[in-house]
Chains A and B, each alone.
Chain A
Amino acid sequence: MSDYGLLVDYEYCTGCHTCEVACKQEHRIEAGKTSGIKIVELLQELPGGGLDIINMPILTHLCYLCAPRIKNGQLPACQVHCMADILKFGKSEDLVKEVPKKRKAIVYTLSGFSI
């Protein structure tokens, strides 16, 4: 198991795209290119006629958990700016313990990441 990861409490992701722009600014990624994080919206028609929306932040191949910021004593750019405050960097084993307290959450882990 890798040491560090990002907890995503996606029940509360409103799909505001802040994380994407924060990532692009931090890592100087131009428009048109996918950065280290991407929101995917799922609109689902439920049996019986209801609807549901899930916004899921996906950490992409480019995400390295803002390692230079972490080494600098800062938090990842997406976490700092997330308007819904649903992202949390930490030790994977600690983050995983928080998952059962949430309605819908996942932990992204990054193998080989260390401080």
Chain B
Amino acid sequence: MAESGVTIHRTTSWSAGPGCHGNCGVLAHVKDDKVIKVEGDPGHPWNQGRLCPRCLAMTQYMYHKDRLRQPLKRVGERGENKWEAISWDEAFDYIETKMKDIRDKHGAESIVFQQGTGRDIGGWISMLAYAYGSPNWIFGLSGVACYTPRLMTMWATHGDHCVMDAAQWHEDRYDNPSYKVPESILIWGQNLNSSCPDGFFAHWIVDLMKKGSEIIVIDPRFTWLASRAKYWLQLRPGTDGALALGFLNVIVNEELYDEAFVNKWTNASFLVIDDGKKGQLLRESDISKNGKAENFVVWNSKSAGPAVWNSEKAAYIDESITPAKEGAFEVKLADGKTTSCKTVWAMLKESLSQYSPEKVSEITWVPEDKIVAAARFYAKSNPSALQWGLPVDTISATTPTSQAIGHLWCLTGNLDRPGGNVIARYPFDVTTYPFHSGINILDLPQETKDKRIGTWKYGAFRDFRAWAQPDMVLEQIFTSDPYPVKGMWIQTSNPIANTGLDPHKWHEALKKLDFVAVVDLFMTPTAMLADIVLPAASFLEKDSLKGWWVPLQAIQKVANVEDCRSDVDINFELAKRFKPDLPWKSVEDLYDHLLTPSGLTYSELCEKGWMIPPAGHSTAPYDRQEKGLLRKDGRPGYQTPSGKIELYSSWLEHWGLDPLPFYEEPPFSPISTPDLHEQYPLILTTGARSPAYFHSEHRQIPWLREIDPEPNIEMHPKMVQELGLRDGDMVYVENWMGRCKRRIKATPTIHPKVVMVSAGWWFPEKEAAEPSLFGVWDVNINQLIPMSHNGESGYGCPLKSILCKVYKAEEVANV
């Protein structure tokens, strides 16, 4: 029962406000068009009434004195903090003129559209970019190192993405009879209770622990989860790939994998040409003149000769064959020559033999017996789930690392199995945030798509997702090669404080551009460098929809805050100006269009609030590979080129990458760069999450700031003492790139040779104008981390593992 004059509105959260990618049901208490309280919705299956501190502090966020409330146009120099408040019409006119002028002079591709984290803007900002005519839509973190690298390897391996099964596809959740509580949960590099896992609710893990799940935690820090784990593996930051390969070594050598699953559903039996080089999958076209390149070849043990796998039909041409899983064979080719081949399984085993627990222990610092015990426990559990975090993306070797980790659920048969890792699709096939090219709201001509920066270098960018490669975008601003970049549209992203590595370079780049527009909710160090700043709405001030991964749900406006407008409204209005023949009359019209596969209109979805796809739908679990629910043709199997889980990936092969997982040392480490290590003897890792903040947001929210008041560096007390320092000292963290200032938090939860420096810091309370930019240069840890140290795939960056030294700040007070 609400107090008089108060109405309670039901909606769901996504981004601006709490910042996250959750799906929490929210009850907003509204009086006189003002939100006076926010509560969790006990009737919502996602959070069951629970809500995080950031969502509970929404009233302080929405009505904060520093909230941007009107469009602002720069009147001084960039960064001078001199603005003129203008109307929305004036703002749109100004932007339209500026951007059309750049398009006329340099082509539409010379404006880059940068989004921040996976908010309720991905679809809309790409609609704007494509309406304008530019293929250059980016997420600015080096190597797009936030979930996309993992999404790409999952897609390349089994044709779909998957997430840990916490019964989120069941309205009745854990009570659903088809659900099984995981016996073990392997938590790989995620401090869940302080973070916002992508499309996941962190405390589901706690629910499952209470129901008997035992956890294995892989983390360089002793987190709360580590304190409750059956096994805690404290690895050297950045060596995740070696550890995963060590797990696979144990699982394969001790035959702990799911034999039937591997034989039936993976390409373990496919033959690979063993020419002593990188190898290549043997294809039907290699062995017969009329053979198809899409078809693969196995060795039929019965006839002691090759047999063909028909990829289109996802079946052997002759179903009576017995494919050999192991062994080396001489195969006659179409040209009459003979070649040596091995099975994928034999190649995988051979490759894994390099990663004995002893060797892996040496690389990762994790004791050998712990590696063996944890791998056995994961593999023997029935079922076992794997929940992984951003550290798998924020290393340069992200692609082979995430491939190795993904092989764990593939080899143990935990894919799309109750209580394992379930295949996650857009609910009812409704795309609200396109992860893959080809499903964007608008399309572009091929000649324009070919101008997408990075596609000419990285196949994995060309064929997966529609983003440009951000490191190459930044370079191109300086080189204009192969064409100039003249402007940037930045929507709720803050590269100067957070997404940008080497932020001085981003600073220089933004200053160099002819036009910079920023859409945000508060003034930020990045917005300070804009020509125009547009005030965006929080999730409580907008109508939108979400389907990441489940449920499909409506976000419904409960109040207005002055002149703030929702991201989609801003993008739609401008898209119409650049493309007057936009096929939709209104945003609601667009939503109806997006909802077509669900059979609902937007207003019907609003009435329902949220919807979960029913069992038997292709976007609901389980065991869909058996039921023919994964492939468009309805045949059993997966949406990969072969229809099998590709342990040896034909996509990676196609892109010139190693098709099997391997370990690669971080680019800056005691082993890769011993000389640098001598000068900078500590391993610097960053990106630790705080329950109070989402990335660089919320430092101005009083209820949140008091939880985590200042930026620190976590150091082991032994190292603090060894360096002659004390807990609470102000220190510089420094390397060859730059330095930042931090306060020491001495804690035994971290390894003595490792320091954790929190990310995303700036001070909304400090001087906004240059050179201060809210004090960002004093604290931004990204000043120590370079751009353009991606993996071979173009994905990943060395955020989790770099080198530094630490010394007392006062010593250099006059420098």
Partners in one complex: yes
Asked if B203 contacts A80 (CB within 8 A), the reply is: no
Interface size, chain A (Cβ < 8 Å): 30
Q: Does A43 sit within 8 A of B, measured CB to CB? A: yes
Pick from A17, A32, A53: contact of B224, CB under 8 Å: A53
In the complex where A18-B51, A55-B224 touch, is A85 in contact with B56 (Cβ < 8 A)? no
Within 8 A of B (CB), among A79-96: 80-85
User: What residues of B have a CB within 8 angstroms of the CB of A53 in the complex?
Assistant: 222, 224, 227
CB distance from A28 to the nearest CB of B (A): 10
Pick from A20, A31, A81, A82: contact of B702, CB under 8 Å: A31
Tally of contacts, chain A with chain B, CB under 8 A: 96
User: What residues of B have a CB within 8 angstroms of the CB of A32 in the complex?
Assistant: 702, 706
Pick from A12, A18, A43: contact of B210, CB under 8 Å: A12
Q: Does B507 sit within 8 A of A, measured CB to CB? A: no
User: What residues of B have a CB within 8 angstroms of the CB of A85 in the complex?
Assistant: 48, 50, 203, 206-207
Pick from B40, B42, B224: contact of A14, CB under 8 Å: B224
Q: Does B202 sit within 8 A of A, measured CB to CB? A: yes
Q: Does B707 sit within 8 A of A, measured CB to CB? A: yes
User: What residues of B have a CB within 8 angstroms of the CB of A30 in the complex?
Assistant: 702
Interface of A: prevailing SS: mixed
In the complex where A16-B691, A32-B706, A51-B222 touch, is A25 in contact with B206 (Cβ < 8 A)? no
User: Which of B38, B42, B53 neighbours the largest number of chain A CB atoms within 10 Å of its CB?
Assistant: B53
Complex-state Cα separation, A72 to B57, whole angstroms: 23
In the complex where A16-B52, A25-B37, A25-B56 touch, is A31 in contact with B194 (Cβ < 8 A)? no
Asked if A83 contacts B202 (CB within 8 A), the reply is: yes
Q: Does A73 sit within 8 A of B, measured CB to CB? A: yes
Asked if A20 contacts B209 (CB within 8 A), the reply is: no
Q: Does B354 sit within 8 A of A, measured CB to CB? A: no
User: What residues of B have a CB within 8 angstroms of the CB of A84 in the complex?
Assistant: 193, 203, 206
Per-residue interface assignment for chain A, residues 1 to 42, with 1 indicating a CB less than 8 Å from any chain B CB and 0 otherwise = 000000000001011111011101110001110000000000
CB-nearest residue of chain A to B39: A80
Asked if B749 contacts A16 (CB within 8 A), the reply is: no
Complex-state Cα separation, A107 to B288, whole angstroms: 76
Complex-state Cα separation, A53 to B224, whole angstroms: 6
Within 8 A of A (CB), among B707-723: 707
Complex-state Cα separation, A21 to B692, whole angstroms: 10
User: What residues of A have a CB within 8 angstroms of the CB of B1 in the complex?
Assistant: 72-73
Asked if B57 contacts A25 (CB within 8 A), the reply is: yes
CB distance from A98 to the nearest CB of B (A): 13
User: What residues of A have a CB within 8 angstroms of the CB of B53 in the complex?
Assistant: 16-18, 20-21
User: What residues of A have a CB within 8 angstroms of the CB of B222 in the complex?
Assistant: 51, 53
Complex-state Cα separation, A54 to B38, whole angstroms: 29
CB-nearest residue of chain B to A72: B1
Asked if A81 contacts B227 (CB within 8 A), the reply is: no
In the complex where A16-B194, A83-B203 touch, is A21 in contact with B749 (Cβ < 8 A)? no
Pick from A18, A43, A45, A72: contact of B56, CB under 8 Å: A18
CB-nearest residue of chain B to A81: B51
CB distance from A52 to the nearest CB of B (A): 6
Per-residue interface assignment for chain B, residues 343 to 364, with 1 indicating a CB less than 8 Å from any chain A CB and 0 otherwise = 0000000000000000000000
CB-nearest residue of chain B to A54: B227
Chain A interface residues toward B at CB < 8 A: 12, 14-18, 20-22, 24-26, 30-32, 43, 45, 51-53, 55, 72-73, 77, 80-85
A-B contact pairs, 5 of them (CB 8 A): A14-B206, A16-B203, A18-B691, A26-B37, A80-B40
Chain B interface residues toward A at CB < 8 A: 1, 37-40, 42, 48-53, 56-57, 59, 193-194, 202-203, 206-207, 209-210, 222, 224-225, 227, 691-692, 702-707, 747-749
Give 16 new A-B contacts, CB below 8 A, not counting A16-B53, A17-B707, A22-B51. Answer: A12-B206, A12-B210, A14-B203, A14-B225, A16-B691, A17-B53, A17-B692, A18-B50, A20-B707, A24-B703, A25-B703, A30-B702, A43-B749, A80-B50, A83-B202, A84-B203
